[in-house]
Amino acid sequence: MNKIVKTIAKLVYPDGLCCISCGNEMFVDDRADVCFCKKCLPQRNAHYCKICGVGLPKSTQDYCNSCLHIGKEGIYFDAARAPYLYRDDSVKAIVHDLKYNGGQYLAEYMSKAMIEVVKAQDWKIDEITYVPLHWRKEQKRGYNQSKCLAKYISEALNIPLTDALKKTVYTRTSAARLGKDDRKKLLEGTFALNKDVNKKNILLVDDVMTSKATSNECSKTLKEGKAKHVYVITFATSVGDNEQTY
């Protein structure tokens, strides 16, 4: 009798069919994506820079301006991708809740769209890692949102998850509130290797990419550790060269 009741309950209230944004239950006709209902559906990152993955406003573009000057900019990751653009209110709200409002539970649903994007690439991945927090900040927050996302991606792809990086410098200034150049200066030399990555292809996971500074500094550290390739996956990314911050 217990099993029958549970089966009926699942049919009436199916698991995992609530919109990640509004929280309303999604029926078959309401589902627009793995995370969102039709009402809350943000724009997918359909046309993006072939290197850094930021959304491009013109369909004739293959690269953003900063990647066209890749030698000058010094981009250390081999490619980056994201399913959503960090300009829709629903995307911003979810990223904020995951990071600052104890929304660890959101990581499971956010990771589904990220997993789809990774599967669509021809990347060979040996290990998955994440952007680390300084231990003081992680202790204060109670968790690392990037690690939460990486955990679900690792399980879905059956690829080992490793803490390849560590944050060695505690900065009181929030990088999210700074512009591109200031953020880059703030993050320089703040990461270090925590595990051997020699000759490995690494997938680096983070929640959002805006100025590229965090992903790039982490990738630089991994490449200095002789990582063969570094790929980056985030839930959202900025549009073109108009860098956006929280």
With b meaning 16 or more CB within 10 Å and e meaning fewer, what string describes 42-75?
beebeebbebbbbbbeeeeeebbebbeeeeebeb
Answer with the residue of higher pLDDT: 15 or 122. Answer: 122
In this structure, the number of other CB atoms found within 10 A of the CB of residue 79 comes to: 18
CATH number of the domain located at residue range(s) 42-237 in this protein: 3.40.50.2020
Give the count of beta carbons closer than 10 Å to the beta carbon of residue 87: 16
Q: Is 36 exposed, middle or buried (0-12, 13-18, 19+ CB in 10 A)?
A: buried
Q: Which residues of 202-219 are buried (b: 16+ CB within 10 A; e: fewer)?
A: bbbbbbbbbbbbbbbbbb
Write down the pLDDT at residue 26.
Answer: 72
pLDDT at residue 121 greater than cutoff 70: yes
**Residue 112 CB-density burial (10 A; 0-12 exposed, 13-18 middle, 19+ buried):** middle
CA distance linking residue 148 with residue 139, whole number of Å: 15
Measured between alpha carbons, how far is 155 from 206 in angstroms, rounded to an integer? 16
Residue of 85 and 65 predicted with greater confidence: 85
pLDDT above 80: residue 40: yes
Residue with the larger pLDDT of the pair 1 and 40: 40
**103, 97 in Cβ contact below 8 A?**
yes
At 174, the pLDDT band (50, 70, 90 cuts) reads low
Q: Which amino acid is at 155?
A: E
**Residues forming CATH 3.40.50.2020 domain(s) in the chain:** 42-237
Q: Which of 10-14, 36-40, 208-212, 229-233 has the lowest mean pLDDT?
A: 10-14
pLDDT tens for 92-110 read 999 999 999 999 999 999 9
Exposure of 130 by Cβ count < 10 A (0-12 exposed, 13-18 middle, 19+ buried)?
A: buried
Nearest to 137 by CA among 146, 149, 129, 128: 146
Give me the chain's average pLDDT, please.
85
Query: Quick one: which H or E segment has residue 130?
Result: strand 127-130
Segment 129-135 mean pLDDT: 95
Tokens read off for 230: 């570094």
